Each structure stands twice: as C-alpha cells, then as structure tokens.
A and B are shown apart, each in its own frame.
Chain A
Amino acid sequence: MFSWTAVNFWLIPLLPLAASLLILSFAKSHRGAAVVLAVLGQLAALSISIASFAWTLETPGARAVQNFTWFSFGDQAVRVGCVLDPLAAAMLVMITLVGLCIFVFSKGYMAGDKDFSRFFAYLSFFSAAMLGVVISNSLLLLFVCWELVGLASYLLIGFWIHKPSAAAAAKKAFITTRIGDLGFFLGILWLYKSSGTLLFYDGGNGCLENAGLLALGSSATFIALLIFSGAAGKSGQFPLHVWLPDAMEGPTPVSALIHAATMVAAGVFLVARVYPIFSLGAVDGVTPSLTVVVWVGVITASMASLIAIAQSDIKRILAYSTVSQLGLMMVSLGVGGVAAGIMHLLAHGFFKSLLFLGSGSVIHASHHEQDIRKMGGLRKRMPVTFVTYAIGMMALSGVPLFFAGAWTKEEVLHATSHWPKSQAPHYLMLAGVVLTALYMTRQMIFVFYGNRRSQDAPHESPPVMTRPLIVLAICTIGLSAILTPAWPWLHSYLSGEEAHLDFGQLIQPILFVSLALVAAGIGLGVLLYRRAGLTDPLEQAQPALFRFLENKMWIDELYSHTVIAFSRGAALVSSWLDRFFWDGLVRAVGGIGGLLGSFSAGVDERGINAGVDESVSGTRGLGRVMARFHSGQIQLYLGAIAVAVLALLLFYAWLA
C-alpha cells in the first residue's frame, strides 16, 4: 500500500526546499507565515518519510532506486539518483521528526529575533539538504547536498552575524570541514576513475555493487580513506574536530538540529553508506581503512570526553559530548558493527537534541547565561525541563533498561569487544562510559541542584518550547523498546535479519559491567560535585590538568601557530613575490630592452640618420617634447621594437 512512496520518495527533500524558497521570496516580513510554511514543509516531509519507512517494512530486502541523467558532456553522461533502503528510511524518519520538534521549539526560542523569518528559511534549507544527503544514490549528488548542508551550517552558526565571535566560528566551521571535503572530493574523483560510475546502486553496475567494487582493486583503501577525511571533517573527528565546539555560537536550536542530531552524524552515515568500499577485501572483518576509522574514533571519543569534564559552558559540554559520541559511532563502524553504529546515531539524534533543546530552555530562562557555574537550583523552577533533561542525561550516560542510548551503547561495546586486532578500543570505550556519566552528572548538579548562584529568578519556558522536549523524551524512552537485545527489532531491520523475542538475551555479562561503570561514573560525580561552589573541585585538586583540559588540550593554539601561521605566511610570501620578484623580473627585462633601445636609437641618430636629421628637426623637436611626457615608456617601446627586430633577424637566419 506504500508503493507510491517507493516511486516518489525523492519529493522528501524538495518539500522543505520549497518552503525555504517561499519564505525567502514572499514571507520575509511575515513571521507567522514563515513558521507555518517551515513547519508544513517539515510535516509533509515527515509524512512521506514515515510512509517510506512503512514501505521498507512491508517489502523485505527493500531498495527503491530512481536514477536519471543530470547532464551530459561530450558523448558521456553524468547520472545521479535517489535510493530508499532501510538505512535511508530510518535516517529520514529521525531527521524529519527531530527536525519538526526543533522547528516548533524555535518558534518560542527565536520569538524575539528580528530575523525570525530568515531563520526558518535557513532551517528549512538545511533540512532539505540533509534529507538530500540521506537519499542520494550517487556520491556526486551526495557531495552536492553535503556541501549545501555545510553552507546551511555556515549560515546558521553565523546567524547572529553582528557578533564577531559568531562570524569567526562560522568561518572556522566552513573552512575546517572544507579541508576534509577536499580529501572527499579527491576520493570521489578516484572512485569515478576506477569504477567509472558514482551511482551506488544501478542494477548491478553501481560502485557499491559487485562489478563496481571489483574494478576498485587495491585503490579501495585510498578511496575509502579519502572519503573518510570528508566524514571526519563533518563529524568532528580528530584532528578536524576543532570547529564543532565553536559552532555553539549559533542559536541553540541550530546546535540541536545541525550540530548534534543530524549534520554531524552525516559523516557516520556516509561511512555506513559506502561501507562496501571500506570493507572490500576484509580479512576477519578488518581492513586498513577500517582500522584507521577505529583509531580515529577512539582518539576522538577519549579526547572529547576528557575535555568535556573541564568545560563550564553548558552547550560546550554537550558539544564535546557529541564529538565523543560520534567517535564512538565511528569506532562501532570500524569494528564491523554497522547496525550498532547507526542505531546509536538514531538514538543519539533523539536524546542529544533533547539535551540541547533542554539547555536552550535553560539558557532562555537564564537570560542567555551559559556558564553552568552561575546556574543551580533550576530543578524546582523548571520542572519539565529538569525531568526531560534528566531523561536525556540518563540516555546519554547509558543508564540501562528504559533509555535508548543505553542499549545502543551496549551494542557498540559488544561490537568492540569482538574486534580481532586489539582490545584497547574496547577498554577505552568502557572508560569513556565512566567519563560520560561523570561529566553529565557534573552538569546536572551544577545546573539543576544546589542553590541558585545568581540573583535572577528564572521560570519554566512556554509550552511551545517544553512540548517538543516532552515529545523527544518520549521518543528516547519509546525507542528503547525496539532496541533491546531481547527483541532487537531495529538491529534486524537495519541488517536485514529476522528479529526474535527472547528475554534471555537481556541478561548479558557486559550489561552488568557497563551498569557498574555507569554507577561508578554517576557516583563519582555526585561525590565530587555535591558541594561544588563557583570553583570546580577538580580544578582545586589538579589545577594543571584542569587547565589543560579546560583549554581543550591547546589544540586550537597548536593549529594557529603551525598550519594556520604557515598558510598565512605562504599567502604573504606569494603576494610579496608577485609584487617584487616576478614583476621585478618583468621590469628587469623591460629595463634591458630599454637599454638596448637607447643604444640602437643612439646608433640610429648619430650614425645613420645624421644626414636626414636636418630635414626632420622639426618633427624631432616635437618628438622630444612627447618623449619628456612619456619618459621611461618610450624606452620600453623602443626596447620592444629592438627585441622584436633582433628576434626576427635571428629567426630568418635560422630559417635560411
């Protein structure tokens, strides 16, 4: 009954795009119309997404493909297309649902902004591009949408463009991701060259299908790594993670939608989408490119969760938490747990956007105060925000049973424990569980418990903001029902296997391990921060270490003194060389020509032309006057002619 969507699912990204264009063209000064258009576009996209999801459910092994020729060059053609399969459908539903909640939330959060309509136009544009990434059936089309997502992110981070910090953060985000994208671009070119097509699925001829993969051969590793560099840039993986915390300069709904739930997960999605290239020629599930993915993920996750402990900005803590969770997803993909990684991505989309919107609600109520040390005691003043935030916190920390994040994290840990190459990622991820619980507990205590540390009296946000929180909280809990090992429905859906109900699966040794670790993290947090005042207990105990983490391990400083300083220097040197060296050479050649010119002119005047000088003295007088006006240039003219005549003579000599 959903076969209509299998043909028309390409409409999904076009609906928000249409909304965006309509807002920009007609509803710029009409706030109400802008919201209605944006929400309608998103709602329509959500409906079709759900229908598409239903279609993939009722059709086993579902994969709908719509390819078409984008343009032709010479007698060749570039074809692109859309694909609908379980991976795409699950992403579509998550993105449109989370997006819708965030759109509604934004109506309250941005209510006082003078560029309200523009904000919704950008949000809709982002949504369109992101949905485009998900349903692309061609790496080229995916790259197009990928870059447009980056543009939307740039526009929205820098939305408050009058703030210099926002403009700087937007620029940093675009350039940093662009560095990764250049590798991605080269990977696309290489893939195109090797397999002859950029279509993923094309009736057996696509680059992810047997024939295409066969053509890759040994270049697959390089192609995979180049594509991964793009994924690392978008998904904030070390060493390209530096832009993501700064991106928190954007309005909080933007952080929730783009820099937590959807865009930053696009890198993980990309790796999952082209996974056949990564796993080509795998021995025991291990390939060189996947090994790189694992270690980059491990470094990112560990580093970010450490840094998160020493941050004091409520959004930056969440940002580093996002970086670390994305690292975890990458690790999962790298060790072969593709379904687990994507499940964690989907669950993370819900609970992290919940946390961000919760922080937005807190920030909104605290008059744009973002320093957690100045908050406190909000539990009673903002009950809805508190409860939903606590649900998000428990999902992120991995408190078992009722929270989506716990089960998916469990799956990831399970996958890492089976990696044949090394057990280090597994143990580091287990340590990460403790750290995550610790920094989230710290945040909860600082924000919601204790006494108010500033004078104002915050109050609960309006329903337009709290209702999306409730919806997302329900999703976070509800999702856990299809994630448990007792009935691993989502896992089966994504990996295309049959799910069986078996409560015995609930009891697994690793469950108790992680339960203990989460308890340890939360317990440690309570112990440490229970009586925390304006200064952090960790700072008192370990000032040097705290400083190191608080300053984000000085990675930004390292970059600005090395890569950035070097490039900037290269730019100045290029400009200087241009002005003085290359142009100097030209002027030197001109000067030599000028000398030759005066020489031959002298010979001309004194030797050959002496006889006729008398008769043309009048002309020459005029010439001298003119020459004075053009001093220097005349020499060049003469030089040019002299050189040309000389060259001509030599040339004829050679010919003869």
Chain B
Amino acid sequence: MAGLITALILLPLVGALVISVSRPNFARGIALGFTLLSGAVVFLLWRGFDSGTGGLQLIERHDWIPSVGAEYLVGVDGLSLLLVILTSLIFPFALLAQRMSRGACALMLVMQAALYGTFTAQNFILWFSFYEMSLVPGFLLIKIWGGENRDRAATKFFLYTFLGSVAMLLAFLGIYFAKGTFDFAKLAELARIGPLLSGRVGWIAFAGIFLGLAVKVPLFPFHTWLPDAYETAPTGVSMVLTGVLSKMGVYGFVRLLLPLFPREIQILGPWLLGLAVCSIVFASLAAWAQSDLKRMVAYLSINHLGYCMLGLFAVSAATARPAVEVQAALSGVFLQIFNHGITAAALFYFVGLLEERRGLRGLHDFGGLMQRTPLLCGWMSVAMFSSLGLPGLNGFIGEFLIFKGAFSLAAIATTVAVLGLLFTVVTFLRAIQMLFSGPLAGSCSAFPDLLRREKFVIVPVTLLMLAVGVAPQFVLSIVNSTVAHMSRLFA
C-alpha cells in the first residue's frame, strides 16, 4: 500500500487548512474528525505492516533536493509504527480534554503531522524539517493559550530546544561533508564499518547531536525547560507534549545516536548512565517536593523517560551484550515509551479535570475528594498506580523489562535507579492522601463527579492500561522483530 505514510502526514495538514477556513465553532469537531481519520490510516498501516520483519517497511522514496542529498524517504519499522500509533491515540484524547479555539486546533493538527513525519522520515534533512516543524506549534500553543508565565516558559521551551537543534544540524552537516549522505540506514551501515568522523571532529559531532536530543528528552541536567513548559501549557497541549513530543528525543537516541556513534557512546557510557540515574532519582525527588499537581506530573515525566535512557545507555555502554539482555532492555524502552505516553497523558487529563472544577491545582487546594467524587478518584488512582509501576497495569511490564536488561548490563546504575521507583510511590501516595482522603474540603463540596463525556474518554484509556498490563503481547509483537534486528546490530 504505497503512499500510506504520505497520506498519514498530509491528512492533519489538510485538516489544519480546512479549519483555517471553517467557522470557529466547528474547529474542534473538524480537528477530531481529521485526527480520527489519520487514526484510520494508522490502522491500515498497522494491518499492512509485516511484524515478522525487523527492518524498514512500506518505504516511499522520491528525490527532493539531490544536490544536498535530501530525499523524501519515509518508512516504518516496529519502533516507528509504535510511535505513530501512540501519536494517533494521544491526539484525539488531547483534543477531547478541553475546549480549544480555532487557531489552537489548527496548530495541534500541524503538530500531529510533524510528529507523524518525524517518526517515519528516514533521511536527516526530511527528519529535521519535521522535527523543527513540531516545535513551532508547540511554542505558539504555550505562548498564546498558556497559563501564568507563559511568555517566559514558551521562550525557554523554544530557545532551549532550538539551540539543541542547531547544534544537531551543524553536526549533521559535518557528517554529510564527510560521508555524502543523509540517509539514516546508510549512515548506520557506514558507522558499523568505521567511525563516521574521526578524532576531535567525531566528538564534536557527537556532542552536537547528543545535546540536541538530550534537551529534547530531556536528560538531566538539560531538563529545566520542561517543568515550566508543562506547567503553563493548556491541558491538551501538556498531554501531547508529554505523551508524544517527549518521545522524539528517545526516538532520536535510538535512530541516530546509538547507531551512528557507537564508540563515543560506549566510551562515555558510565557518565551517560550517571546522567540517566540522576534523571531518575532527582526528578522523582523533586516531584515529591512539588505542591503544584502539574509540576509534579511534569517531574515524574522526566523520571519515567530517565528509565528509557537507563535502558538505552546500559545497552550501549556494556562491553559484553548478551542478546537476551539487550532485547529485554530495548523492548522495555519501547514499551515504556508507549506506556508513558498513555499514562502521563491520562494524568495530565485528570489534573485538568481537577483544575477545571476548582480553578486551582495545588495539592493543598483539595481534600477529601473521595467522599464527593469517588469515580474521579478511583479512575485517577488507576492512572497513578499505572505510573508508579503497579503490576497488572501497563507501567510495570516496561519497567520490569528495562530493569531486567539494565541490571545485567549495568548493575550498579540500575541498583541506584531503583530508588526512583520508591520516590515515585511516595510522591503519588502523598498526592492521593492529600487530595482524596480526610474530611471533605469546603471548597470541593460542590464538585460534580465524572461527567458522561469524561467517562467516555477515561474508560477506554484505562482499559488500554489494563490490557497492556495483563497481556502486553499485542504491543510487544509490533516491536519484537525490530528489537531482535537491533540486538543483532549491537552484538
């Protein structure tokens, strides 16, 4: 089914155009329609995908600017498909989360198109264009529709990630001058034979790409833009930022840094593992200290992505790489990407519901909600327990696989990282205690419990968490062949 990926990227863009000429009150409906339509295309893509093959599939290749090696080259492997599916799930969820003006709806669709592009592009120039294209709507959505401090947060978000991107672009220019191609697969092949760039230049290029991706993930200590941005952004945008945008960084590590700079990353391995552990431990500690619910969830996002980085760095830093451990770590990372996307988005959604009812979102602004809104509390607790890795829900499987792989490949770092699992529990149980238990706070005594339209959003998402937690095979089978394929490259 040729052209499916192109259709996927174009659909939301068409939607954005339609919205810009439509009447304002139809905007959200149209946006939902187009995003669901793109979801249907993703479904076709999934059906057309051969899960028995590890490499790229459904490739579309056209010349674009031959003189600079830019091609229109898109295709998917298991990881790309997983992220595309995640994107198609999070956007409808985010659009349903709150009212959005026409402009915001159009920008959301542009962002979705950019994300579909980022996760399928296999040529650096094309990939970079999509990568940057996602930044602009993010910036505008925060700056125009954000809450308090939105100017500062938006600027920080944009500049920080943009600076990282510039560094990455320069690094890739260097690689292009040395090797004459922007094709990811070709570059990876070349990197397997020998270093892409030798000596100091190689290190500079590595540093550039690393910086760009580390900011995007974000990896400690390049993370300080994130709490501000997530806190300020409107609920739906926070959901997309944490659910999908944060995955671009992890994806970049898997697709670019690990294959292109295996030596550099191995030499720096212990340091990188240290950064991942810092992300995990310090972010979970910082989350515990927050009194704003959104900031709390934002820090836990850093913490959860830290597990992904732990898995990836453990694989790339190890000197001996038994296939089973590499596959466990990679599968865990991919599953964690998916799980975190669903769960963190759900958490932001719930915080949004609370904020909508109360007008505030401090931990101290609520109390005794269980007596007034048992359903809201119950379903929100499920999302929290999923996030803290309770077995039976989705978070556990991914974390178990990451830790299984990482423990064998990097025992000390993994042992320290386990602390993050503890502080996450403390953070969430403290929140549950402060929000749900005790006597009902006067300010919450008129709250409505979950409304029908809210249930309509929450129930399927929660069922998905449960399904992945009980029978994760349907997600894992998307990436299994890709994982096996990658582990052979690492061996």
Contact = CB atoms under 8 A, between A and B. Distances in A.
Given A76-B327, A182-B418, A192-B404, A162 B480 contact: no
A158 B381 CA distance: 14
B128 to A, nearest CB: 15
B289 A74 contact: no
B389 to A, nearest CB: 9
B439 to A, nearest CB: 6
Contacts of B266: none
A654 B224 contact: no
Contacts of B223: 582
A182 B389 CA distance: 12
Contacts of A73: 327-328, 331-332, 401, 476, 480, 483
Interface in A552-593: 567-568, 570-572, 574-575, 577-578, 582-583, 585-586, 590
B472 A571 contact: no
Nearest to B227: A578
Interface in B396-428: 396-397, 400-401, 403-404, 407-408, 414-415, 418-419, 421-423, 425-426
A249 to B, nearest CB: 12
Nearest to B290: A575
Interface string B148-170: 00010001100110110011001
A163 B436 CA distance: 11
Contacts, number: 172
Interface stretch (B1-9, B35-43, B69-77, B280-288): B280-288
A167 B390 contact: no
A636 B438 contact: no
B204 interface: yes
Nearest to A154: B429
A381 interface: no
A654 B288 contact: no
B144 interface: no
Interface residues of B, number: 79
B433 A171 contact: yes
A104 to B, nearest CB: 27
Contacts of A577: 282
A186 B170 contact: no
A100 to B, nearest CB: 25
A590 B159 contact: yes
Nearest to A583: B224
Interface stretch (A33-41, A465-473, A640-648): A640-648
Given A72-B480, A74-B327, A571 B288 contact: yes
A570 B284 CA distance: 11
A74 B483 contact: yes
Contacts of A140: 400
Contacts of A590: 159
A182 B174 CA distance: 45
Contacts of A651: 170, 174, 204
A636 B167 contact: no
Given A71-B397, A192-B404, A654-B200, A171 B429 contact: yes
Interface stretch (A59-67, A89-97, A173-181): A173-181
Contact of A648 (B170, B385, B391, B408): B170
Contacts of A586: 156, 160, 224-225
Given A178-B422, A185-B418, A633-B155, A74 B204 contact: no
B484 A571 contact: no
Interface in A452-479: none
Given A147-B391, A575-B290, A644 B422 contact: no
Interface string B311-329: 0000000000001111110
Contacts of A179: 422
Interface in B461-491: 471-473, 476-477, 480, 483-484, 487
Given A144-B392, A640-B163, A644-B170, A571 B429 contact: no
Contacts of B328: 73-74, 76
Contacts of B160: 586
B425 A178 contact: yes
Contact of B391 (A144, A196, A655): A144
Contact of A161 (B288, B332, B437, B471): B437
A174 B159 CA distance: 42
B407 A640 contact: no
A186 B483 contact: no
A143 B391 contact: yes
Contacts of B483: 73-74
B368 interface: yes
A148 interface: yes
B174 A655 contact: yes
A214 interface: no
B430 interface: yes
A647 B168 CA distance: 12
A274 interface: no
B425 A175 contact: yes
A654 B178 CA distance: 13
A75 B328 CA distance: 10
B159 A161 contact: no
Find the residue from B166, B285, B326, B477 having the highest chain A CB count within 10 A.
Answer: B285
Given A144-B391, A185-B418, A647-B170, A190 B407 contact: yes
B99 to A, nearest CB: 28
Nearest to A129: B392
Contact of A71 (B408, B422, B426, B472): B472
B64 interface: no
Nearest to A575: B289
Contacts of B13: none
Given A178-B425, A179-B422, A571-B289, A168 B473 contact: no
B390 A147 contact: yes
B221 interface: yes
B437 A162 contact: yes
B433 A578 contact: no
B437 A164 contact: yes
Contact of B163 (A574, A633, A643): A643
A162 B368 contact: yes
Given A74-B327, A162-B437, A647-B167, A182 B401 contact: no
A75 B391 contact: no
A74 B331 contact: yes
Interface in A571-617: 571-572, 574-575, 577-578, 582-583, 585-586, 590
A637 interface: yes
B467 to A, nearest CB: 12
A27 interface: no
30 contacts: A73-B476, A73-B483, A74-B487, A144-B396, A147-B396, A151-B385, A161-B436, A162-B371, A162-B439, A164-B437, A174-B425, A175-B422, A175-B425, A175-B429, A182-B422, A185-B403, A193-B404, A196-B324, A571-B289, A574-B285, A575-B289, A578-B286, A583-B224, A586-B160, A586-B225, A637-B159, A640-B159, A640-B163, A651-B174, A654-B204
- Closest A-B pairs by Cβ, 6 of them: A74-B327, A167-B437, A73-B331, A575-B289, A144-B391, A574-B285
